Chains A and B, each alone.
Chain A
């Protein structure tokens, strides 16, 4: 790490972009990591990300969780998610082989519900982020690229959506559209997209005036090449970071709506909904509250670690 820091803080003007020849010289002189000098910008970013242990652990855990949830049908009978059994109510966790996390008030297997619930929590948050990212990139892209009046109008529209706290706006839209998983997805995306639009716009405006963009214009580079070779790779960073962090906050928002009873509806399992179903019994059977909560917290935390790691990897100057 120290070597990289020397290379990136020692010489002016190589903060964002490929290491210059002088920087490469430093890598060579130190005798280590000589391979690094051949890497592309992408390679450097991946290299820095890999160096960040917390981010890697976060990525590993979230990948594992995703895999666990997506392959759920391979090892869980879908029947277990809903099938009730009054004889098997409130089995404590880790006591029987059939119910690793125990069972709830209806004798439903908590493990099956958590894993299938994870599908909804994780996939829905990816859906929300994807949907709002598309809207945000289009709106922010137009605003940033055209500037002037278009920019003004689009940004005022974004202001409208940002005037109301996110959670409240999502609730209002849910109440307007009615309940349901898909409608909640739309509501949360509406509440999320202005943030992305702002990030994209700021990123584009910032890049438009960069010297290297001007330089490549002077060299006669075509606009298409400038956009795809210079603007997009450099402007994507902040957007990716905020999308990763938004994944975490969206999981929180989905589970909050589920908990309040205006998101995913019971008996469909979703981490927040599971908590809300078991609310009255948590007092006597704390594991019913602990297990879903821990799953939410772990996935949000891992996504936050990934987001922070990405930010540091994309812009080495932010690293203290």
Chain B
């Protein structure tokens, strides 16, 4: 019951956040210089045509009124149409989102599957060769721009060696290189976080007790240290996901994947307000829900954490 109350409270708290984000972007976009109707029709359009287009887009009304109408429509599931290409924003988004979801899921799983074991290994063999090697590689990946790594990997593995397809999203194989590119940074973060949090737990008294009573090293790590050591790592998955959603934009651009990121970039370049707004709203809601889920998960795996 308390959990349900907490979930409802958190979901309600999401509303002002969404309103704040959308209002900010909507108002700034509307106040930006340049008449959208003129931009859409081109410089040789007649005054009448521009006026008609303005009326069609509802640009004659006050900004706040327009914003209110827009948000009411959003609540009904209508995100409007693109100013420039005329497509329905939500349909276009839905047709592209599977590619982004595949890419995101692959990247998150990759960073968990690779990041956590190496972090544990580095912590268990603290100050050993493996520890330093992992940290150096992690540091390298954290410092490289993802798009640069993607470009270089694309040229080397896909074009020079021809091992993997370089562009497109036709099959799962197409996602291997993009997923590696996208997860590079978060693998690095995961390794470092796992290592630090494991090392913190290894120092604790109850681990010493386990050693003293003669438990094997394997049992100490897997039974005693891991359970507490991985708690912060679990909570970090949420923030990693946010980073991955942001990074997906760049990766999709490098590998020419028709996902939501490329939709966003094109819309940003031509200032297509309905498209930018739609993508931002959906992603903000998504990130908010993921963070809520992570917090709930945290309370489930760690009974000391009280929700509310």
Contacts and interface: CB of A to CB of B under 8 A. Distances in A.
Given A176-B29, A296-B148, A301 B246 contact: no
B76 interface: no
A164 B21 contact: yes
22 contacts: A156-B16, A157-B20, A160-B16, A160-B21, A165-B242, A166-B246, A168-B249, A172-B268, A175-B269, A259-B145, A259-B147, A260-B250, A261-B265, A275-B148, A279-B151, A289-B148, A290-B152, A293-B152, A297-B143, A298-B143, A300-B142, A304-B143
B144 A293 contact: yes
A171 B249 contact: yes
Interface residues of B, number: 49
A165 B17 contact: no
A286 B155 contact: yes
Contact of B159 (A167, A174, A283): A283
Given A160-B17, A165-B283, A293-B148, 7 more contacts: A163-B14, A164-B284, A168-B279, A168-B283, A175-B268, A175-B276, A259-B253
A279 B276 CA distance: 26
A262 interface: yes
Contacts of A293: 144-145, 148, 151-152
B199 to A, nearest CB: 6
Interface of A: 156-157, 159-161, 163-169, 171-178, 248, 252, 255-256, 259-262, 272, 275, 279, 282-283, 286, 289-290, 292-293, 296-298, 300-301, 304-305, 320
Interface in B140-188: 140, 142-148, 151-152, 155, 159
Nearest to B262: A260
Interface in B182-226: 199
Contacts of B41: none
Contact of B245 (A165, A176, A301): A165
Contact of A304 (B16, B142, B246): B142
Q: Chain B: interface secondary structure?
A: helix
A286 B280 CA distance: 36
Nearest to A171: B268
B284 A163 contact: yes
A178 B16 CA distance: 26
B288 A297 contact: no
Contacts of A320: 126, 199
B276 A160 contact: no
B302 to A, nearest CB: 21
B32 interface: yes
B152 A289 contact: yes
Nearest to A271: B145
Given A290-B152, A304-B142, A163 B18 contact: yes
Nearest to B280: A172
Contacts of A261: 265, 269
A304 B144 CA distance: 12
B243 interface: yes
Given A168-B280, A300-B143, A176 B28 contact: yes
B268 A174 contact: yes
Contacts of B148: 255, 275, 289, 292-293, 296-297
B106 to A, nearest CB: 18
Nearest to A318: B196
B33 interface: yes
B287 A164 contact: yes
Contact of A256 (B16, B147, B264, B268): B147
Contacts of B284: 163-164
- Which 3 A-B pairs rank lowest in CB-CB distance, beginning with the nearest? A167-B246, A165-B246, A160-B20
Contacts of B258: none
B24 interface: yes
Contacts of B18: 163
Contact of B264 (A163, A168, A272, A275): A168
